[in-house]
Amino acid sequence: MKFCAVFLLSILVCASSESVKDVGNETTQANDSISSPTTLPNTTVTTTLTAIPTATVSTTLMNIDDTTESTTLTVINGTTESTNFMVTDGTTEPPTPDTTVLTTPAPTPKPNPTTNSYQVDNKAGNVTCLLMNAGIQFLLVKNDTTNTTYLANIPVNTTDFDGDCGDEENTLTIRFYDNDTLTNGSVTFTFSNNMAGDNKVTLSAVSLSYENIEGVNKTVAEVNMTDFSVTPGRSYLCKAEQKIELSEGHAMYTLGLQVEAFRTVNTTAFGSAEDCVADQKTSDIVPIAVGCALAALVVIVLVAYLIGRKRSARQGYQTV
């Protein structure tokens, strides 16, 4: 009887073990998180997942200095994502984020542009409606990802230009190729008459199209401008460097600029000039400097006269 009881008990234990084994296998396939235990120092843990579409494996290693390093590997439809972090004395330290900030490198210096002369005649050819002398330089973008910029000049003796003499707008388009930077482009200046209702001629828009060093075509512009404002019949003069901001980090620089639009005569002589603010500041410095020099000269002469007079008086007393 005892033997039968023991035999029946053995059969029940084996059946229970098989049932637990089957349930464990099903749980392993359905479970989303599988963790390996903490291992001894200098131990490599290898975990293999087979036929599990979605699972997470966490591995913890203990180092010699009693610190632990954990790695979490997530498998989703065959794609793996790994996250590493360190636990020291029970405190979790997540990975340090990358705080690198991209800065815009300064462009390589380039010689000042050479002044060129441009003119636009009407269709009949009997009126030169627009005259412009200027050295022009552009700040262009070489690479959008790294924000790398470079400078390109409109070369000397550029003769490929044209324009239009409209009643409300005068335009000048200059096509250029800079051999130094292998930049091919064109720029269009638009001048408007009485745009703001102030009876002034102004530069109202600038449009720049170019192919940069890397072969990328770009078009940038600035509109609704009121630059180079001047009275009709007079020219705008600015010998100093001027900067005009364009879109997307571009800019245009002018040097030795003189321009006159909406002309009604057939000559190439500019009308009376109105100086820009930058030139006016320079003009103010000159007379101030001259005045200071003259004042210093007067003081020196006066001091010399007083010293000479004092010496003459002493010599007179000695003679007596």
Q: CA separation (Å) from 153 to 111, 240, 274, 292?
A: 9, 17, 26, 40
Question: How many beta carbons lie within 10 A of that of residue 57, not counting itself?
Answer: 20
- What is the model's pLDDT at position 51? 45
Dihedral angle over CA of 247, 229, 281, 131, nearest 10: 90
Residue-by-residue pLDDT tens, the chain, 320 positions: 444 444 443 444 344 444 434 434 443 443 444 344 444 444 444 444 444 555 555 555 555 555 555 555 554 555 555 555 454 455 555 556 555 555 555 666 778 899 999 999 999 989 999 999 999 999 999 888 888 999 999 999 889 999 999 999 999 999 999 998 889 999 999 999 987 678 899 999 999 999 988 889 999 999 989 889 999 999 999 999 999 999 999 999 999 999 999 999 999 999 999 999 888 765 445 566 677 788 888 889 888 888 877 777 766 555 54
* Greatest distance between any 2 Cα atoms in the chain: 165
- What is the model's pLDDT at position 47? 46
- Choose among 215, 160, 221, 137: nearest CA to 182: 215
User: Tokens 């571009």 — which residue?
Assistant: 250
Under DSSP, is residue 230 helix (H, G, I), strand (E, B) or coil? strand
Report the distance separating Cα 181 and Cα 192, nearest Å: 33
Q: What does DSSP say about strands 54-62 and 33-35: parallel, antiparallel, or unpaired?
A: parallel
Report the distance separating Cα 246 and Cα 116, nearest Å: 22
Report the distance separating Cα 193 and Cα 284, nearest Å: 30
Side-chain-side CA neighbours of residue 10 (13 Å): 6
Q: Can you count the helices (H) and strands (E) in the chain?
A: 2, 18
- What is the model's pLDDT at position 1? 46
Q: Who's near 198: CB < 8 A, 6+ residues apart?
A: 229
